[in-house]
Amino acid sequence: MAHAIREPVWLAYHLVPTEEWEAAPPDAPYLPAAFPQDGFIHTTHRADEVAAAGNRYYTHDPRPYRALVIDLRRLTCPWRYDGDERFPHIYGPLNRDAVLATPPAPREPDGTFLPPIWANPVYAPEDVPFTTPKVGVNAVIFDDAGRILLTQRDDNRLWCLPGGHVDLGETIAEAVARETLEETGLVVVPGRIVGVYSEPRLALRIGYGLRYQMVLIAVECRVIGGVLSRSAETLDEGWFDPDDLPPLVPSHYQRIADARAGQNAVLR
């Protein structure tokens, strides 16, 4: 039986043509084309209302659309309800750091809009738990030449620090050692904690919505055995100069920078 999705009251959605969003200056607040006429930005709290709005106004428009996911708490301009508490109105330009994610708005071949897939657990992979946050680990490993060990993901082909989820019954140290061995073939001893990372916007970008959030613990590790080898979970692996990195999962740039700083554990 399907259950209605109730999103937090600080969350809002706004439909926008993909080409309009991508053409807007990325370093400036965003204003939709209709703002001068309406005087505010239309949003809704509910994912199903995103589709309903699209079907009321935009089915004739064949262009691809995106559903901006907005954190109302982060807005730098005022917002309010004007008679209907399903629809927050934003009275000013939308500052970019209030936008949590920009998933495509799915449509049927006839133009009918569907609720954003990322916001609906019905469409999520079966192995994605929706009790959150989930704990993960990354291994930060430098060799004697100061190079850092990275693996290449098979889903988006980006590079990242070795790591994964903590299994039930494991300690953080056990999890980071296990994940490193599984992904790289190396036996490591965990050392200092580089940082704890829990920014929800970073987790949201993987596309599973607000029912999925990662708390990631990065641990510096020392290699004591094994042979560097490719696993079934990765496309490639290798050592890289930290000043000349391949394309990374975006959040891992900060984790590597924190590790290189050699400071006490950070909390982000």
CATH code, domain with 234: 3.90.79.10
Question: Are residues 91 and 196 located together in one domain of the fold?
Answer: no
Q: Does any domain span residue 105? A: yes
Q: Does any domain span residue 221? A: yes
Bridge partners of 69, per DSSP, are: 13, 101
48 or 137, higher pLDDT = 137
**Residue 267, burial from CB neighbour count under 10 angstroms (0-12, 13-18, 19+):** exposed
Q: Does the pLDDT of residue 126 top 60, yes or no?
A: no
Question: Are residues 202 and 152 located together in one domain of the fold?
Answer: yes
- pLDDT tens for residues 12-67? 999 999 999 999 999 999 999 999 999 999 999 887 888 999 999 999 999 999 99
Q: Which domain holds residue 206?
A: 134-267
Question: Are residues 143 and 116 located together in one domain of the fold?
Answer: no
Question: Are residues 206 and 151 located together in one domain of the fold?
Answer: yes
Backbone angles phi, psi at 190, to 5 degrees: -65, 145
Of 122, 149, 176, which closes a domain? 122
Q: Does any domain span residue 127? A: no
Question: Are residues 155 and 63 located together in one domain of the fold?
Answer: no
- pLDDT tens for residues 90-124? 999 999 989 887 888 889 999 999 887 655 444 44
pLDDT the model gives residue 199: 80
Instruction: Give the predicted TM-score (pTM) of the model.
Output: 0.61
Rounded Cα distance, 177 and 31, in Å: 47
Where does the pLDDT of residue 168 fall: very low under 50, low under 70, confident under 90, or very high at 90 and above? confident
Q: Does any domain span residue 128? A: no
Rounded Cα distance, 176 and 195, in Å: 14
19 or 11, higher pLDDT = 19
Q: Does any domain span residue 2? A: no
Question: Are residues 67 and 176 located together in one domain of the fold?
Answer: no
- pLDDT tens for residues 185-196? 999 999 999 999
Question: Are residues 175 and 96 located together in one domain of the fold?
Answer: no
Q: Does the pLDDT of residue 4 top 60, yes or no?
A: no
Rounded Cα distance, 120 and 149, in Å: 36
Q: Which CATH number does the domain housing residue 21 bear?
A: 3.20.170.20
**Average pLDDT of every residue of the chain:** 87
Rounded Cα distance, 95 and 44, in Å: 17
Q: Does any domain span residue 6? A: no
Of 81, 96, 122, which closes a domain? 122
- What domain count does the chain have? 2
Q: Does any domain span residue 143? A: yes
Question: Are residues 148 and 239 located together in one domain of the fold?
Answer: yes
Three-state DSSP state, 60: coil
252-261 exposure pattern, b = at least 16 Cβ within 10 A, e = fewer: bebbbebbee
- pLDDT tens for residues 208-266? 555 667 899 999 999 999 999 988 889 999 999 999 999 998 889 999 999 999 989 99
36 or 203, higher pLDDT = 36
Rounded Cα distance, 180 and 188, in Å: 7
Question: Are residues 157 and 197 located together in one domain of the fold?
Answer: yes
Of 100, 122, 144, which closes a domain? 122
